[in-house]
Amino acid sequence: MDKSEKLALILSGALLVVFFGAIMYAAMAKDIDVPTCITGMDPFTTDTLFQTGPDSYELQMVARMWAFQPSTVRLPVGSTVDLYVTSQDIIHGFKIEQHNVNLMAVPGAINYIRVTFNKPGEFLYACHEFCGAAHHTMAGRFIIEEGGL
């Protein structure tokens, strides 16, 4: 084997270790997770928000041309939300500002991610897939309040 081939192999192996380490660091230390597509649950048609524990909630979000339901969600600071997103018509996007949430809203499917709101304030969520004439109006907001609801 040529010396340069050996060097390329060693560098490739080292890069694999670095990339794997970066993925493990993101998953373990930064708690960054990949959104999950839920397969064992029928797509819902109405939005729902309910409490599942002292600081935890489940939110089922419905996207349709050209709004999200619900359009406003009020929660106390420190809430952890199991967020399920689906669409009633075409493909939309769902992104929450200042949070690591970026999902697709797909008709006939449900996407899931867990998000924690550690700061009070208003956080816009918006569609990030061009979905037609009123795409730019498709938004809502989380209102995260101090001291509970």
Which residues of the chain form contacts with ligand CUA (CB under 6 A)?
66, 92, 127, 129-131, 135, 138
Nearer to ligand CUA by Cβ, of 106 and 144: the residue is 106
- For the chain, state the CA radius of gyration: 20
Q: Provide the Cα torsion 72, 77, 81, 83; round to 10°.
A: 30
- The CA distance from 14 to 149, in Å, is 51
CB of 111 closer than 8 Å to CB of 105: yes
Nearer to ligand CUA by Cβ, of 77 and 95: the residue is 95
> In the bound complex, what is the minimum distance in angstroms from residue 141's beta carbon to ligand CUA?
16
> In the bound complex, what is the minimum distance in angstroms from residue 137's beta carbon to ligand CUA?
9
> In the bound complex, what is the minimum distance in angstroms from residue 3's beta carbon to ligand CUA?
54
Among the listed residues 119, 64, 126, 121, the one whose alpha carbon sits nearest the alpha carbon of residue 101: 126
DSSP letters of 40-59? SSPPPSS-EEEEEETTEEEE
> In the bound complex, what is the minimum distance in angstroms from residue 66's beta carbon to ligand CUA?
6
Nearer to ligand CUA by Cβ, of 16 and 134: the residue is 134
Nearer to ligand CUA by Cβ, of 57 and 141: the residue is 141
